Amino acid sequence: MRMPSLAALLLFCLGAQGLAEDGQESAHDFSFASIDGGPLPLSTFSGKVILIVNTASLCGFTKQYAELQALHERYVEKGLVVLGVPSNDFGSQEPGGSQEIKSFCEVNYGINFPMTEKVKVKGENAHPFYAWAAEEVGFVGKPRWNFHKYLVDSNGELLAWFSSPTSPLSSKVVTAIEGVLVAGSENAG
């Protein structure tokens, strides 16, 4: 009986997961569905800095929506996109459908930054962006609760992550965003 090569075993073990990740080298390789319907490829934001945040309407951190909107308003003209990604993965704190979530965000927080449809951000069925991001940052940088934040530069490179309790307006987040925006404007000029 012929034994399979080590390379063949490795490919077999990786299976479809290895194939799905092939060629996905930046955040711009992923797409969500917009909360308004239709595709929302992250490549749409090429040339911009993106703060991707998994959100929930019934969480102790839900007040961060106001801070995310303030961050959006402060930096949108300088090239920042805040992207809200509703998820029901933690404590079942986002039970509603797209229209309910959108209405909640607009009425209670005046949200006008883009949002996606509700997705899974952890586990086997995590959205492909979140599976990729978890591999990029390792175990310690994976979402552990709602309002986990990923900072992506204008080329789609995942630069940093911030835990749920970290305020979007904290000096840590603002300094990171300003640094990436300045670097991006220097590279463009």
- pLDDT tens track of the chain, all 189 residues? 343 433 333 333 333 223 234 456 899 999 999 999 999 999 999 999 999 999 999 999 999 999 999 999 999 999 999 999 999 999 999 999 999 999 999 999 999 999 999 999 999 999 999 999 999 999 899 999 999 999 999 999 999 999 999 999 999 999 999 999 987 666 655
Backbone dihedral region of 91: left (phi > 0), alpha (psi from -120 to 50 degrees) or beta?
left
For 187, which DSSP code? H
What global pTM score does this model have? 0.85
The Cα-based distances of 92 to 57, 59, 95, 108, 187 in angstroms read 10, 9, 6, 20, 42
How many angstroms separate the CA atoms of 168 and 172, rounded?
A: 9
CATH code: domain of residue 137: 3.40.30.10
Domain range enclosing 112:
25-188
Q: What is the pLDDT of residue 186?
A: 66
Residue 85 within any structural domain of the chain: yes
Q: Is-contact 53 135, C-beta < 8 A?
A: no
How many alpha carbons lie under 13 Å from residue 69 in its C-beta half-sphere? 13
The single residue of 42, 50, 53, 59 carrying the catalytic annotation is 59
The answer to the question of residue 107 being in a domain is yes
- Whether 162 is in a domain gets the answer yes
Structural domain total, the chain = 1
Cα separations (Å) of 117 from 86, 99, 189? 7, 9, 36
Q: Is residue 20 part of a domain?
A: no
Known catalytic residue at 105: no
Domain contains 146: yes
Integer Cα distance of 181 and 153 in angstroms: 8
Q: Determine, yes or no, domain membership for 7.
A: no
Question: Is 19 domain-assigned?
Answer: no
Q: What are the E-state strand segments in the chain?
A: 31-33, 39-41, 49-55, 80-86, 149-152, 158-162
State residue 105's pLDDT score.
97
- 113, 105 in Cβ contact below 8 A? no
Say what the pLDDT of residue 182 is: 84
What does the alpha-carbon distance between residue 183 and residue 115 come to, in Å, rounded to a whole number?
A: 26
pLDDT at 158: 97
Residue 171 belongs to a domain? yes
